[in-house]
Amino acid sequence: MDTTDDTRQLAARLRSVAEDAAAGVGPMLRSAFRSGVRTEKKTNNHDLVTAHDRASEESIARHLFAAVPDSRILGEEGGHRGSGRIEWIVDPIDGTSNFAHGVAFFCVSIAAALDGELLAGVVYDPVAELMFSADRDGAYLNGETLRPRAHATEAQASIMTDYPSAEALRIDGRAGLDAFAELVDTYATLRRKVSAALMLAHVAAGWADVTLGLDTNPWDVAAGALIVRRAGGSYLPFGYDDGARPAHEAPCYVAIGPGGSAPTAVAVVERLVAARRRAGYTRG
Ligand code: IPD
Ligand code: CA
Ligand code: CA
């Protein structure tokens, strides 16, 4: 890892830019939340988008390009724009389904990468006003350094996951329900929270011990993965062969807080990924 002062300073600056961009959409998201948000279907009934997702991404993109002109953006709603060296990976609302249904568990997720390596990440919960972030030096919550400690045994540990989604059940069939049952039975408690980025941030804060996802996209996990790692936890990618690609591009992951261990979660993901491979499914 390049730890030169220049890179550390750049990472700290990108973190601050991302924090400002995320905080900037806070008032808009708070006033829209629980105000009768209209939804549109994206790919299916479970995959929703709102005008606020697009407005949030536009505002964030404007802020990022103005603050760091040498930028390019990969956004969930707007795709690729710009061609600068700093790559921003943006999910303008992660947890749109919660946002649209009036459930206070959604966030803005912004990561910054240089040459494929994550330098900074921000996950912002605008309702609780929680700004999780990371740079080269550490992970923070509202500016305070995060030093979590996960429960050591699975029997004591909490796990957060959305698995299995309707789509996952179509792919994995009965094995998906068996995997879910095994997770429910093994961990002290399982929560289905439906915002990958915020679940990762909760692991980084020590409010959950483990989280896992299958069929994820870079904008769901890039910022949260860095925050978990900088908080001392692990982010383990699964379901991709190319070791040269960054972990946040993998379609499946398990993240574990420092001091924790999650052999069941890892075994479940490995088993599902192997079954998908055997069935010729290409994303994990
Ligand atoms: C979703 C959330 C969810 C994950 C889905 C994502 P969105 O993102 O991150 O936790 O399980 O795969 O699509 O649609 O709310 O931005
Ligand atoms: Ca998302
Ligand atoms: Ca989204």
pLDDT tens column, 241-282: 767 789 999 999 999 999 999 999 999 999 999 999 999 987
Ligand nearest to the CA of 216: 1
Test site for ligand 1: of 39, 43, 94, most ligand atoms within 8 A of the Cβ: 94
Fold (topology level) of 3-145:
Fructose-1,6-Bisphosphatase; Chain A, domain 1 (3.30.540)
Test site for ligand 1: of 43, 123, 220, most ligand atoms within 8 A of the Cβ: 220
Ligand nearest to the CA of 251: 1
* Closest ligand 1 atom number to CA of residue 220: 9
**Residue 79: beta bridge partners?**
75
Check residue 205 and give its pLDDT: 98
Ligand 1 centroid – CA 253 distance (Å): 14
**Closest CA relative to residue 228, chosen from 121, 126, 124:** 121
Residue 46 above 80 pLDDT? no
Distance CA 250, CA 200 (A): 15
Distance CA 147, CA 232 (A): 8
Q: Is 162 in the pocket of ligand 1 (CB under 6 A)?
A: yes
Could you say which of 3.40.190.80, 3.40.50.1100, 3.40.50.12780, 1.20.1250.20 is the CATH number of the domain covering 158-278?
Answer: 3.40.190.80
Instruction: Considering the chain, tell me which residue range(s) the CATH 3.40.190.80 domain(s) occupy.
Output: 158-278
* Closest ligand 1 atom number to CA of residue 96: 15
* Closest C-alpha to ligand 1, atom 8: 94
Distance CA 71, CA 64 (A): 8
Whether the full predicted model's pTM is greater than 0.85, yes or no, is: yes
Grade residue 2 by pLDDT with cuts at 50, 70 and 90: low
Q: Is 195 in the pocket of ligand 1 (CB under 6 A)?
A: yes
**Closest CA relative to residue 190, chosen from 268, 101, 272:** 268
Q: pLDDT of 191-218, one tens digit each?
A: 999 999 999 999 999 999 999 999 999 9
Instruction: Considering the chain, tell me which residue range(s) the CATH 3.30.540.10 domain(s) occupy.
Output: 3-145
